Each structure stands twice: as C-alpha cells, then as structure tokens.
Amino acid sequence: MSVDTITETITAPVEVANPRDEQIAFVLMTLALIIAPLFAYPFFLMQALCFALFACAFNLLVGYVGLLSFGHAMFLGSAGYFSAHIAKVWGWPPELAIIAAALGAGVIGLITGALAIRRQGIYFSMITLALSQMIYFFCLQAPFTHGEDGIQAVPQGKMLGFINLSNQMTLYFVVLAIFLFGFLAIHRIINSPFGEILKAIRENEPRAISLGYKTDRYKLAAFVLSATLVGLAGATKSIVAQNASLTDVHWTMSGEVVLMTLVGGLGTIFGPVVGAFIIVAMQNYLAGFGQWVTVIQGVIFVACVLAFRRGIVGEIAHLFKRSL
Amino acid sequence: MRSSVAIGALAAALAWAGSAAAQNKNVKIGALSDQSSLYSDIGGPGSTLAAQMAVEDSGLTAGKGWKIDVISADHQNKPDVGTSIARQWFDVDKVDVIVDVPNSGVALAVNNVVKDKNKVFLNSGAGTSDLTNKACTPNTIHWTYDTYALANGTGSALTKGGGDTWFFLTADYAFGAALERDTTNAVTKSGGKVLGTVRHPLNSPDFSSFLLQAQNSKAKVIGLANAGGDTTNAVKQAAEFGITQSGQTLAALLLFISDVHALGLNAAQGLTFTETFYWDMNDQTRAFAKKFAAKMKSGAMPTMVQAGVYSAVLHYLKALDALGSNPDDGAKVVAKMKEMPTDDPLFGKGTIRADGRKIHPAYLFQVKKPGESKGPWDYYITKATIPADQAFRPLAESECTLVKK
Amino acid sequence: MIPLLGISTQALFGQLLLGLINGAFYALLSLGLAVIFGMLNIINFAHGALYMVGAFCAYFLLNLLGLNYWFALIISPLVVGGLGMIIERTMLQRLAGLDHLYGLLLTFGLALIIQGVFQNYFGSSGLPYAIPRELAGGTNLGFMFLPNYRGWVIIFSLIVCLATWFMIEKTRLGANLRAATENPTLVRAFGINVPRMVTLTYGFGVALAALAGVLAAPINQVRPLMGADFIIVVFAVVVIGGMGSILGSIITGFLLGLVEGLTKVFYPEASNTVVFVIMAIVLLVKPAGLFGRTA
C-alpha cells in the first residue's frame, strides 16, 4: 500500500465540546420534538426517531471510536424480528419485548464484534459486511421470520400494563422517551472516562496500548453498546410499524445509516438526528416523485462528500466555532 | 295553518340536513406501487394511468357531481415505507381506497392497515393467495390473479397435455415456495410427478448450473417458480443451453407481457404460462390498450396488473354510485361491491366472492415464434381457457373466516 | 459413473466447468476493481453501475448504430472508460488526500445516480440482446452441452486478465504506475504527470468493467439493476484476493466461481452467501487476503 498522506479523517472534530452549548442544543431539540406532532404526521415522526437512534448509535462507533461498520443493519433487523416475534408469538408486553430484543442484538454484537475487532480499517468494515450478509441469509431461511412476507400484525398492547400504545399520540411520546433515553445514554458514554479512552484509541491506538489499556476490550465494549442501542431502535421500530421485514437486515440499510450520519455530520452528537430526519422525510414526502428518489439520494451523497463533508450540523457548528 | 307551516318548515329543514349529510361525493384513490424497481413495468406508473382512465370512463365526474382524485406513491418494495404511506394517506390525505400494491410482503402489511382504518384495498399486483385465505378481511378484494390460479392453470393444463414429469427451479423466497407448492398440488392432482426441485437465491444472475440439473433430471417440464429478473435470466439462458430444442418444455409460473417484451421473441418463444388478461383478446381490450399505450411514456401495452387496476376502480366507482355517496366506511363499500356482479370491457363478466376473491376466467398462453408475430406486443397465442369457476381456489378449501361453512 | 454424494461424476464435471465460467466473469469484473484499488486506493462502488452502462452501450451500438457485438467489445469500454476519466477528473481528484472511505461514499452515491437515471428511462425489465451469430450454438462435450458463447467467455476473460496482469507487473508503464502510487512526489520529480496517470488508470479500470458488461449482455438480461446484484460479491473477491493484488483477484475470481458452482449443487440456497463466509474466514486468518501485502 502507499504512503498515506491523509489530511482529513472521517472521525469527530478535535474541538472540545462546550457543555453549555450541548445543553442548549439538547433542550432545543427536545422541545422541538415535543411540539412536532402538531406540525407533522406522528407516524412519520416515530419512524424518524427510530432511525435517529439507529444513526446515533452507529455514529458512536464510527465518529468516536473510528470504526466504520458496513453491517449495522444486522442489529436493527434482528432486533426487529426478535421483538416482533416475542410480542406476537410469545405474547410478552411491549416493554419486555423491546428490552429482550435489544439485549439479543447486544449478544449478536458480542459475537460479531469479537470476530470483527481483530482487524482494522477497511478490513474491519468488510468483516462486518460479511457477517451482516450471513445474518441476512439466516433471517431469510429461518421459518420464524416468514421470509419476505415478514412478521405481520405485531400487537402493540399496553406498556407497563396501562399505557395504551394503540393511541398514536401516546405511542409517540413513548417512542420519544425511548429515543431520549438512548440519546442520553450515548452522550453519557462519550463523556465518561470510558469515552475518553475510546477517543484516545481512535487518535493513536499504539500509544493507548503502550499506556497499558487493553484496547481490544474497549473497542469490543463500544461495539456491543452500539449494537444494543441499535437493537433498541430496531425493536421499537417494529412495534411502531407493526411489522418486521427483510429490508431492515439488507445491506442497503447499512448504507442508509451511513448516508444519514454523513448528511447530518459524522462525529457530531446531533448530526445523526438531523440526518435521519432528513432522509426519512425524503423517503416519505418524495414518494410521490417515485422514480427519482434514488437519484436524489445519490446526488445528496455526492454533494455531501464533495462539499459538505462535515454534514449539516458539522457545518453549522464550524460556522459558530462550536462543537455540537 | 301555523302548524302546517311549521311542519312544512321542519320537513324542509330535515330534508336539507339529510341531503347535506348524504352529499359526500368526494373520493380519493391512492395508487401505491413499485415505481422505481422490479415491478415498475408490471404496475408502476401504468397502474396510476389505469386508475385515471377508469375514473374518466366511469362517468361519475362528468355529469353526476362527484369529485374524484387519483394520487400515487412509490413503496420501494419496503413494507415500512408502504405502511407509512398508507397510514399517512388515510389519516392526513383522506384517501379512501388503495389500489395495486405489487410485492406480497408490502401487500400483506398494507392489508392490515386498511383493515384497522376501515378503508378499501383493491389489490391487483401481488400474488400471495393469503390475501383471500388466512389474511382475508372485509375490506380487501384481491382482483387480478393469485399464485393458486397461476399454478393451477399452468400446472394442470401442461400435465394433462402430456407434460407429466416436472422439475422446479424455485426462488428461495416465501413467494417462490408458495408457487412451487401450489403447482405441485395441481400437477399431482392431474396425474403427474415432480422429479426434483432446486432452490436458487433471489436475484441470481446465472442459472446455468440449475438449468443443467434440470436437464439431467430428464423431466418433461421445467417449472420456473420465480419472477421478474430471475425468470427472464432463466429463460434466456435456457435458450442458450438448448433446453427447449432438446424437447423439454419451459413453464414460467409468473410472467407478464412486459417480461416477454424485455426478452424478445427469440428467447421467449414457446413459453407457456397463465394470465387473466391479454390486450389483444377482443375488440374491447384492444380499444382500451390503444388508448393506454398512447398515454404511456414508453408506449407499452397494459399488463394484466394494470388492466386489473382499471377494472377494480371502475367497479368500485359503480358501487359508490349505487350507494349514492361516499359512506366513509370501507367494509360497507366492499360489501356493495361483492353484491354487484362485475362487467367491464377488460375481464368480461365476473363476481366477487365472500372471501374477497374476484372471479373471472384465466387463460393459458403460449409465446409466439418470431415469424408468427405481426409486430411489437403481438406475442401470445391463446392455448386454452380456464372457466371462472375452476380457475381459483374453491371456497370449500378456503381458510378465510369470512366464508360461512 | 460413480455417484459422488448423490451426483454423478459426469454431472459434477459439468457443474465445475460452469462454475469456472462464472469465475471468469468474477475475475474480469474484479480485475477493474483491483486495478483501481491497488493503484489508486479508491474503493470504486460505482463499478457495478458502470458494468451496467457498458452492457447498455452495447445494446445502443447494436440498435441505434447497427454496430454488432464485435464492435461493441472495443467501443463500449472506450466510451465508458472516457466517462470514468471524466468522473475521476471532476470528482475523485478532489478527494485525493482524504480518508479512503470518502471515495467509497462518493462512488456509492454515483452508483445510485447512474442506476436511478437508467431505471427512469428504461424501466426495470430490461432489453433483449442476442448472442452474436458467430458464437451461437454449442458443442456436446460428452458430460454436458457447452454453449459456444460460454467457452468464448472463459477464453476471452483469461486473455484479458493475463494481459492486464502482465502490463501492470511486468512493463515499464506498469512500473511507473506502481511507483506513482507508492510515492507520488518522488515520481513527479522524475517528470511524470502523476494526476494524468491516475485519471487514465481509473478510466482503464472502468473500461474493464464495461468490457465485462458487454460480455454479459448476451447471456444476462440487460437491466439497470444488473450491476447492483454483483457489486458486493465482486468486492468480496477483491478483498479475499488481497486488496493490492491483481493476480490475487484473478485467481480468487476463478476459485470463487468453482466454490459457488459446488455450492449450487449441494446447498444451492447458500450460493449467494458462501462468498461472504469465505471472506470472513480469510480476513480472520490472513487479513491481507490470500495474495495481498500486509494490511
């Protein structure tokens, strides 16, 4: 391979985060999401929230640890299937189904992560892709997933015994709560001593090793955390949409989350949220354009890579010389 | 005197109020299809056009004071996009009926949403016979075809005609498996035998290995239990390997005229399959097809899916006309549609059963040789007609809860 | 013949030969990708889309200009290669010093655009393209009937693969190219126009993809999505072979064809997935790939 003269990496900017900026941004985001149902269709918002959590958890791995996974769809999809199956066939209440499914995704993350972490860079990415394809194959063959028909008519039930999820507004606030929980969890991880070590590993792994840190363990832990949170998103999504299908385990879904994170801003905390909302909005509101949606997505990809590499939030943050 | 004036005024008021309530003559039709991928030629923009043509031909907008809109969207073959659009259409855009929806996974998902919201679902594009079986609802009518009809038609006809040993190339998908299972039933019931089957992954570009296995089995008929690109690739490569020249018959279990057009007659000649519509069958279908092709950007003739959308929307509007107004109650409209026998220029006379299955005759077609065709789209010879009462799954075998046993 | 695990040896030979032919396709397709990655460190996700453009180009040459398959074999790669050079000049060059993954993302976006546009104009069912008369028909090899066209595919791919490998590894031009990737500044000091070499190399890699497209047009339906089915398999081949190694991806392409061929006999449902299993195993055991230099 050549002598690399890399001037720009895909990972987080080096500016130190100002806690006050982040708090303000967080409050604004939460307020916006609370009043959003007055302006937009709640079902679309819930889907966007699930994808936003997916993108944030993905960003945890790529932006803060520097590991670009091409297989994250495997966690989204398998958690979706688990929670759909648990809620429909085993009859568990929704909160248990979601938690169990997220943990299931975490277990898959543990197994796949243990294999993938052993390599770096593009090879890590290719291993995650390969593993994701094998999981896709498994989901295709396993009888409980019903192949391409998917698991349909997943019951929504009552959360914690009394919160009726069939009411769209109630469901929205439950999903919002789950999203905020996940978001805050990620924030906590990034800003903890554990998170500092992850950033150190990203910046200079040999040095971290020389300081005595077992970097593989830290990377694996981050991978599993990311997988579990993605699982949380996937499990919630299948309860909201009331079905689980193969599209969520397909490799193009892994590509979509990269697109969302790229558009929003790799390595920014709020970037993936913005990116997810934009991409989901495009898919829904441009559905009337039918054949041009893929082309538009492609154009956005190209434009972002050529001119807006920091993503929307990244560019805004750069403009104000802050870190978001 | 006063009392009669009062009564008169009251009567007038009541009449005015009553007619105001009964005046909802707004209808919104949503054509939900795959606009950008595998099924866009089978349904896609053509289905939207078919719906629009049906609205014009119904006569309801011209003189009877109805306001009917047709909107469309792309479900991109993803069930969550499909259900998301369906919900938005019902909750926000006041859509009353969804038509088309190819892709069985999306169709089943949308089917549930339609039932929850008590709207109407007229499916023309999907093949899954579950829509009138395990997943039947009082809000859904499955219009054009289903896997049972295709399997039954092609399976029985070919077996009875001498092709009594079969080998299947099946797409490793629930749909492919269903097609294979239904055809196997039809074949064995007609006295034939299945010598073997091989399951290939979806979107396989190369079928040479599977075709070789089929050739080695020496079965008289090779059944292609797959669709779209897989079928066309398999057919093209079968021609390359000289399969039909050496005496084996190729039976495509799901084929549309758009596929034949894409293959070209050289590759597709001799293919035998079942469909429920062909544009060149009679004067009425020809008239519709010419109007349709003139409006289509690609100049393509209508597929049976697109014809089904036309027929379904026409009958739906007839039912609304009979009811006098839009009752905003999907099950009620569907019940009316089931009550009225159907009669349209494309499918002729037919009925809709209690399980939501639209009944009309099916036809066994064979693709012409290049020399026999007089021009583009002149592709089929009609080999047999399967009468309406034999074409679809008998009610006695249905697992639908709406069917009273 | 002795039945081996439920299949006669005769039939097995037939399947292996077919697998080898498919392997020739994989080798040719991954060759372009390997050239682009090995020489330029660009992960070209648009490879599948450009393969498809090559096939469509052959269709247009036949139906609009009356130029048959043999002309298409030469003209189509030139045209699409030219398109590749434009892409490199206008877009990829701007990503020169950045993380390689940006190149991947950009080319992924390009693939979406190209495929989307073609789909809008040509629908999804595809267009017919016949096998050229000179190569039609087949020969009975005893254990199977081999269409002549398939025999041509394997011979032609081998020739192109070996010629490319020879050119890059054994000629002066190839040496300059390899040096330019290793140390552009030094090579520039010798007076060699490095950016132009990069553009030409990308164009060459893309031309190879288009060539594979023309080769595929008579046997696979010419459809806008024909490349999308292939692309991640081709990536896997390059990764398994070793991302810098031309010879690696050629040999892996053929090997994969064989392995897939066997899988199609014994466990056909998995024939699309077996390549990923192999990729995962290879990456874990020998991370640089079978023939690659150290990661």
Residues C232-257 pLDDT 10s: 888 889 889 887 788 888 999 999 99
In chain A, whose CA is at the least distance from the CA of B126? A149
The answer to whether residue B18 scores a pLDDT higher than 50 is: no
pTM: 0.86
Give the minimum alpha-carbon distance from C150 to chain B in angstroms, rounded to a whole number.
9
Contact B226, B200 (CB under 8 A): yes
B109 CB neighbours in chain A (<8 A) are: 150, 152, 242-243, 245
The answer to whether residue B58 scores a pLDDT higher than 50 is: yes
Share of chain B above pLDDT 90, in %: 50
| Inter-chain CB proximity B109 and A237 less than 8 Å | no
Question: Over chain B, what is the mean pLDDT?
Answer: 88
- The interface residues of chain C toward chain A in range 9-38, judged by CB-CB distance below 8 A, are none
The answer to whether residue A18 scores a pLDDT higher than 80 is: no
pLDDT at B95: 94
In chain A, whose CA is at the least distance from the CA of B83? A241
In the numeric block, the tokens 């037919």 are attached to: B350
User: B147 CB near a chain A CB, below 8 Å?
Assistant: no
The answer to whether residue B13 scores a pLDDT higher than 60 is: no
The answer to whether residue A276 scores a pLDDT higher than 50 is: yes
| Inter-chain CB proximity A301 and C244 less than 8 Å | no
Q: Please give the Cα distance from C66 to C59 (Å, whole number).
A: 10
The answer to whether residue B21 scores a pLDDT higher than 60 is: no
Contact C37, C223 (CB under 8 A): no
| Inter-chain CB proximity B212 and C15 less than 8 Å | yes
The answer to whether residue B17 scores a pLDDT higher than 50 is: no
In chain C, whose CA is at the least distance from the CA of B39? C124
A294 CB neighbours in chain B (<8 A) are: 36
Give the minimum alpha-carbon distance from A12 to chain B in angstroms, rounded to a whole number.
32
Band of residue A118 on the pLDDT scale cut at 50, 70, 90: confident
A141 CB neighbours in chain B (<8 A) are: 172
Mean pLDDT value across residues C101-115? 88
**DSSP-assigned letters across all residues of B370-397:** GGG--STT--EEEEEEE-HHHHS--GGG
Question: Over chain A, what is the mean pLDDT?
Answer: 87
Give the minimum alpha-carbon distance from B35 to chain A in angstroms, rounded to a whole number.
5
Q: How many residues does chain A have?
A: 324
| B173 closest CB neighbour out of A47, A148, A288 | A148
Q: For residue A23, how many other CB atoms are within 10 A of its CB?
A: 10
Band of residue B219 on the pLDDT scale cut at 50, 70, 90: very high
Interface size, chain A vs chain C, as Cβ–Cβ contacts under 8 Å: 130
- The interface residues of chain C toward chain A in range 243-272, judged by CB-CB distance below 8 A, are 243-244, 269-270, 272
Q: Please give the Cα distance from A203 to A182 (Å, whole number).
A: 25
pLDDT at C10: 77
Mean pLDDT value across residues C3-31? 82
| B80 closest CB neighbour out of A140, A153, A247 | A247
Give the minimum alpha-carbon distance from C6 to chain A in angstroms, rounded to a whole number.
23
The answer to whether residue B378 scores a pLDDT higher than 90 is: yes
Lowest mean pLDDT among B12-21, B57-66, B277-286, C30-39: B12-21
Q: For residue C85, how many other CB atoms are within 10 A of its CB?
A: 20
In chain C, whose CA is at the least distance from the CA of A134? C273
In chain B, whose CA is at the least distance from the CA of A289? B73
- The interface residues of chain C toward chain A in range 92-131, judged by CB-CB distance below 8 A, are 94-95, 97-102, 105-106, 108-117, 119-120
**DSSP-assigned letters across all residues of chain C:** --EETTEEHHHHHHHHHHHHHHHHHHHHHHHHHHHHHHHH----TTHHHHHHHHHHHHHHHHHHH---HHHHHHHHHHHHHHHHHHHHHHTGGGGTTB-HHHHHHHHHHHHHHHHHHHHHHHTTT-B--PPPGGG-SEEE-SSSEEEHHHHHHHHHHHHHHHHHHHHHHHSHHHHHHHHHHH-HHHHHHTT--HHHHHHHHHHHHHHHHHHHHHHHTTTS-B-TTHHHHHHHHHHHHHHHH-TT-HHHHHHHHHHHHHHHHHHHHH-GGGGGTHHHHHHHHHHHHSTT-SSPPP-
pLDDT at B20: 44
In chain B, whose CA is at the least distance from the CA of A147? B174
Mean pLDDT value across residues C130-154? 84
User: B133 CB near a chain A CB, below 8 Å?
Assistant: no
Q: Please give the Cα distance from B125 to B47 (Å, whole number).
A: 9
What is the torsion angle, in degrees rounded to the nearest 10, for the CA atoms of residue C30, residue C33, residue C39 and residue C41?
Answer: -130
Dihedral pair phi/psi, residue A310, rounded to 5°: -80, -10
Band of residue B290 on the pLDDT scale cut at 50, 70, 90: very high
pLDDT at B9: 53
**pLDDT tens, residue by residue, A79-117:** 999 999 999 999 888 889 999 999 999 999 999 999 998
Share of chain B above pLDDT 70, in %: 94
Of C147, C91, B274, B221, nearest to A306 (Cα)? C91
| Inter-chain CB proximity C109 and A305 less than 8 Å | yes
Mean pLDDT value across residues C206-213? 94
Interface size, chain A vs chain B, as Cβ–Cβ contacts under 8 Å: 97
pLDDT at A4: 39
Report in angstroms the alpha-carbon separations of C278 from C250, C259, C282.
16, 10, 6
pLDDT at C125: 75
Return the residue in C12, C140, C229, C264 with the most chain B beta carbons within 10 A, the one to mutate for interface testing. Answer: C264
In the numeric block, the tokens 């009138």 are attached to: B132
Band of residue C196 on the pLDDT scale cut at 50, 70, 90: confident
Of A322, A239, A223, A286, nearest to A49 (Cα)? A239
Close Cβ partners of A194 (under 8 Å, ≥ 6 residues apart): A218, A221
Of C133, C161, C129, C164, nearest to C59 (Cα)? C129
pLDDT at B366: 92
| A123 closest CB neighbour out of C236, C276, C295 | C295
| Inter-chain CB proximity B36 and A291 less than 8 Å | yes
**pLDDT tens, residue by residue, B240-251:** 888 877 888 899
pLDDT at A288: 67
Task: Give the best-scoring range by mean pLDDT among A174-188, B77-91, C188-202.
Answer: A174-188
| A7 closest CB neighbour out of C97, C100, C239 | C97
What's the token pair of residue B319? 């039912």
- The interface residues of chain B toward chain A in range 32-61, judged by CB-CB distance below 8 A, are 35-36, 40, 44-45
| Inter-chain CB proximity C105 and A301 less than 8 Å | yes
Band of residue B7 on the pLDDT scale cut at 50, 70, 90: low
Band of residue A323 on the pLDDT scale cut at 50, 70, 90: low
Band of residue B113 on the pLDDT scale cut at 50, 70, 90: very high
Band of residue B196 on the pLDDT scale cut at 50, 70, 90: very high
The answer to whether residue A1 scores a pLDDT higher than 80 is: no
User: B373 CB near a chain A CB, below 8 Å?
Assistant: no
**pLDDT tens, residue by residue, B390-405:** 899 998 888 888 887 6
- The interface residues of chain A toward chain C in range 112-171, judged by CB-CB distance below 8 A, are 115, 118-123, 125-127, 129-131, 133-134, 136-137, 141
Of C72, C67, C70, C106, nearest to C202 (Cα)? C106
What's the token pair of residue A36? 């959003």
C265 CB neighbours in chain B (<8 A) are: 209, 213
Lowest mean pLDDT among A51-55, B47-51, B63-67: B63-67
The answer to whether residue B331 scores a pLDDT higher than 70 is: yes
Return the residue in C39, C102, C233 with the most chain A beta carbons within 10 A, the one to mutate for interface testing. Answer: C102
The answer to whether residue B275 scores a pLDDT higher than 90 is: yes
Band of residue C1 on the pLDDT scale cut at 50, 70, 90: very low
Per-residue DSSP letter, B66: -
Close Cβ partners of A47 (under 8 Å, ≥ 6 residues apart): A237, A240, A241, A280, A284, B80, B84
* H or E element, residue B364: strand B362-367
HSE value, Cβ hemisphere, 13 Å, CA-based, for A245? 25
| Pairing outcome for strands B97-100 and B249-252 | unpaired
Neighbours of chain A (3+ CB pairs under 8 A): B, C
The answer to whether residue B377 scores a pLDDT higher than 70 is: yes
B176 CB neighbours in chain A (<8 A) are: none
